[in-house]
Amino acid sequence: MNFYAIRAIYHFELARTWRTLMQSIAAPVISTSLYFVVFGAAIGARMVEVNGVSYGAFIVPGLIMMALMTESISNASFGIFMPKYAGTIYEVLSAPISYVEIVIGYVGAAATKSIILGVLILATARLFVTFEIAHPFLMVTFLILTAVTFSLFGFIIGIWATGFEKLQIIPMLIVTPLAFLGGSFYSISMLPSVWQKIALLNPVVYLISGFRWSFYGVSDVSVIVSMVMTLVFLSLCLLAVWAIFKTGYRLKV
């Protein structure tokens, strides 16, 4: 394992974050804070508890997970797309490093940035609502798994995209709607029975449900099922990345 190569890619990608703090860190934290103000403080004060948890506290895991997914995809997709766009990806591919080391460097940096952002949003939430974390180890596990999984997903999008506009198609038209419909702001048990069954087809439901269970011990689906579904999605992303490098899809052109 070439740790020097991994560290070089990892540090290069992280350095971009420190150069664009307003865009990479401040903007997502501020936008998520607005959700806490509107939904947590303003609307939440007029709503009853959800599954025994105050509404302001109930939406905290959903908002963190939504920001985590969005930023993981954005960081990873942009990180691998820019070398493709500039043509420097061929220098990386021709270097004496393996595909595994390339993926670890890019995905590791994207996941690290997303985890830092998730922790900052968690700390910011304390300013608006009061909440407890019942299972901190499981919370950290879900945080890391989700960041890595969606960073891999973003890596795939970055390789697939042939232009800047394509980088936004899947996050805006698929991931964001699924996050809003995945129980970020409500429990799917509040839906009619037919829509509850339909909601279970949304993979984001399992991510948010498991993450919320780590906070309050309440969830829409079993935490074991949530963990299994997260690992399945992670495995599918790993398989897709392996196939991309195996075939050279949109890399060796």
The per-residue pLDDT for range 230-250, each reduced to its tens digit, is 999 999 999 999 999 888 888
CA dist 79 and 86 (Å) reads: 12
Number of structural domains found in the chain: 1
The answer to whether position 219 is within a domain reads yes
**Which pLDDT value is given to residue 43?**
65
Segment 84-108 shows an average pLDDT of 88
Residue 3: the pLDDT is 86
Q: Please indicate, yes or no, if residue 55 is contained in any of the structural domains.
A: yes
Give 4-60 pLDDT, tens digit per residue.
889 999 998 888 777 776 777 778 888 888 877 777 666 666 677 788 888 888 889
Q: What is the pLDDT of residues 51-60, one digit of tens each?
A: 888 888 888 9
Mean pLDDT, the chain, rounded, equals: 87
Q: Is 8 within a domain?
A: yes
pLDDT value, residue 42: 64
- Within a domain: 252: no
On whether residue 196 sits in a domain, the answer given is yes
What are φ and ψ of residue 50, in 5° steps?
Answer: -115, 115
- Output the pLDDT for position 145: 95
Concatenated DSSP letters of 14-42? HHHHHHTHIIIIIHHHHHHHHHIIIIIII
The pLDDT value recorded for residue 133 is: 92
pLDDT at 192: 87
Q: Taking the complete model, does pTM exceed 0.85, yes or no?
A: yes
pLDDT at position 176 is 86
User: For residue 94, what pLDDT is reported?
Assistant: 84
Instruction: Return the pLDDT at 16.
Output: 77
Smallest CA-to-CA distance from 213 within 12, 47, 52, 90 is with 52
Task: State which residues form the domain around 177.
Answer: 3-247
pLDDT band at 144 (very low <50, low <70, confident <90, very high): very high
How is residue 53 written in tokens? 């948890």
CB 77 within 8 A of CB 131: no
Report yes or no on 253 lying in a domain: no
